Structure 1
Amino acid sequence: MKALSLSLPTITATNSNLNYGSFSAASSYASLSSLQHRPSSSTTLFSMKKSVVRVQAENEDFELKQVRDMAAAKKRWEALLREEKIKVLTPKEAGYAVQLSNKPLLDVRPSNEHNKAWVKGSTWIPIFDVDNGLDIGTIPRKVTNFAMGGWWSGMPTLSFDNSFLPKVMEKFPKDAELIVACQKGLRSLAACEQLYNAGYTNLFWVQGGFEAAEEEDLVVEGSVPLKFAGIGGVSEFLGWTDQQRAAAAKEGWGYRLVFSARLIGLFLVADALFIGAQQAGRYLQEIRTH
């Protein structure tokens, strides 16, 4: 196997080196089956109970399949790294390779992350992208994703992009020294596996993803720091992500005050809505009594 034409320290990949996360319930390793339920007027309550049990069973089966899929994928990825079919780079080493040797960097993140920040000169081809569909199969997945933490993390429902491999093949020859990266390192491993199976033999995985990079490691463009591209939702608004807490430790109290003010504002809005609901309830009760 050819190596990058750049002097880099040797990195040995072990199980503890891998930065594994878990796909959300809507990550496209499995899909939630839609349920059809048409109760008759005489069996409504019984049918509703059956529907609840069925939904719970579907969710349990879905989560179990997801765990099994991730366990199987983890073993495959470990084997590819252990056998050095995929080489490992740190973000700093990837930055050297891109800036000094002009090596291609393939960004496989979904659009919601890439649009916030990206490495200058990189090629963006997502392996999973935001699912904007509203069909009967997508809506249950979006609801499940939101209920299982999407509201907090801001992570949208993602679907596998079937055009990923054709787009990469159109852009890069199979003997290209290709550096593959994502936000945390998980999807880029999945992308490396796809590319290796398609015949790419000079693959380099960025360990830990862009989230592990320091500001000086890569030349970045976009509206936010590269570390912040993967955060969102209520946690980002309140400044309760690990990335924001690390930034607050460097920036000091001025940075923290912004998010403290947001938290106070959120409590005030919640109080106002609660008081308003009480007043509306009393008003409706007075109308009924008269």
Structure 2
Amino acid sequence: MAAICVNVAAAAVTGPKASALQGGAGATAAAATTTTTTTTTRTRPSRNGVHASHISCSSSSSTFAAPGFCNIARRRTPTIRHSSSRKILCAQDLAEQIKEMKAAEKRWESQVKEGKVKSLTAKEAGYAIQLSNYSFLDVRPSTEHSKVYVKDSIWIPIYDVDKSLDPGTLLKKLSNFSMGGWWSGLPLMKYNERFMPDVVAQIPKSANLIVGCQKGLRSLAACEQLYKAGYRNLYWLNGGFDAVQEGDLEKEGSQPFNFAGIGGMSEFLGWTDVQRAEAAKQGMTYRALLFARLLGVILAVDLFFLGAQQLGHYFQQLRQ
């Protein structure tokens, strides 16, 4: 249950104080702890009003990342024994994270309504870059930027792939992979602490700056930080690169801009919206390629199970 809370809330919360935005918004990590418990048989109300029996305190712990939910770090905290009570508590904490995320989205969107950040379509951004010498700041992670990017753009990710190899991070990576990363291809992300220092070092505050990401949310988060730092000529790529049509922006890379945000098994099998749209354009040749991949996966799975069965029979014969 703790691992589920970490991954769902990490996907929901975006900002320098949050953890792992997969897809649309990025996130950073804070430490929390899961516990192994020894039970007693007392009954008393929990801190958030949920009455719980068989409350137990921990004597050992293991770490994971997630601020504010299921967070029992650095203290001996009562843990509910019954799984139904744990689900209630975790759901409440997760609801708080989602609430914070929605509040952040409203705050970022208000920048456009208040005129602090001006909204541009992909076509308008292309004209601005070509005719008015506007600069383009790409805040996507390296996994997306490496596929395709705007020609002559400045790349400074606000979130990027977490390459740490400490035990805690490896555990989070395993959890991220098992909870859907294998399907979506989204790796574990962390906030780039060098984002603002690098921006200030490379881009003057008087510049006309267009900020873009894959779906449009991380770029709004970046605009908030840029405005606070003194940038006043800010423009937001509305809808991100997912909304870019061929020819809107001059690109470097062979893939369409909206293909940069897909990955994993879903991309390999062609089970994404952008690939379905592409299949409708290209016709049977593209569909045949995707069908061949699906057939190959099915055959590989069948061979794996057949090999596992044969190996099991072999070991059984050895025992006899």
CA 286–55 in structure 1, closer or farther in 2 if over 3 Å, else same: farther
- If each structure's helix is expressed as a fraction of its own residues, which one has the higher value? 1
Deviations 1:149-170 (A, max 9, x none): 1111101111110111111111
- If each structure's strand is expressed as a fraction of its own residues, which one has the higher value? 2
State the partner residue of 1:11: none
- Residue segments in structure 2 that go unaligned for 5+ positions in a row: 1-10, 22-26, 39-59, 62-78
State the partner residue of 1:222: 253
State the 1:64 CA deviation.
Answer: 3.6
1:152 match: secondary structure: helix
State the partner residue of 1:139: 170
Conservation of the 8 A alpha-carbon contact between 2:12 and 2:97: no
State the 1:246 CA deviation.
Answer: 0.8
State the partner residue of 1:33: 32
Conservation of the 8 A alpha-carbon contact between 1:26 and 1:142: no
Distance in 2, matches of 1:58 and 1:143, equals 24
Distance in 1, matches of 2:81 and 2:169, equals 19
Distance in 1, matches of 2:266 and 2:97, equals 25
Conservation of the 8 A alpha-carbon contact between 2:205 and 2:232: yes
CA 31–282 in structure 1, closer or farther in 2 if over 3 Å, else same: same
State the partner residue of 2:7: none
Amino acid in the other structure paired with 2:146? N
In the alignment, structure 1 residue 78 sits paired with structure 2 residue 109: yes
Amino acid in the other structure paired with 1:173? P
2:167 match: secondary structure: coil
CA 262–285 in structure 1, closer or farther in 2 if over 3 Å, else same: same
State the partner residue of 1:211: 242
The total of aligned residue pairs comes to 263
Distance in 1, matches of 2:32 and 2:178, equals 16
| From 147, 159, 169, the counterpart of 2:200 | 169
State the 1:145 CA deviation.
Answer: 1.8
State the partner residue of 2:230: 199
State the partner residue of 2:54: none
Amino acid in the other structure paired with 2:267? E
State the partner residue of 1:120: 151
Distance in 2, matches of 1:81 and 1:203, equals 10
Amino acid in the other structure paired with 1:33? A
Amino acid in the other structure paired with 1:26? A
The 5 Å alignment of 1:151-170 reads: 151-170=182-201
Conservation of the 8 A alpha-carbon contact between 1:26 and 1:144: no
Distance in 2, matches of 1:231 and 1:23, equals 20
Deviations 1:105-151 (A, max 9, x none): 00000001001110001000000011010123322322232232111
State the partner residue of 1:14: none
Distance in 2, matches of 1:139 and 1:60, equals 25
Amino acid in the other structure paired with 1:189? L
1:116 match: secondary structure: coil
The alignment's TM-score, normalised by the length of structure 1, stands at 0.82
CA RMSD, Structure 1 to Structure 2 (Å): 2.8
Distance in 1, matches of 2:100 and 2:294, equals 38
1:287 match: secondary structure: helix
Conservation of the 8 A alpha-carbon contact between 1:181 and 1:210: yes
The 5 Å alignment of 1:15-26 reads: 22=12, 26=20
- Residue segments in structure 1 that go unaligned for 5+ positions in a row: 1-20, 40-46
Amino acid in the other structure paired with 1:160? Y
Distance in 1, matches of 2:144 and 2:260, equals 5
Distance in 1, matches of 2:164 and 2:88, equals 25
2:294 match: secondary structure: helix
Percentage of pairs with the same residue: 53
CA 142–58 in structure 1, closer or farther in 2 if over 3 Å, else same: farther
Distance in 2, matches of 1:139 and 1:56, equals 25
Deviations 1:40-59 (A, max 9, x none): xxxxxxx9998996997896
CA 177–143 in structure 1, closer or farther in 2 if over 3 Å, else same: same
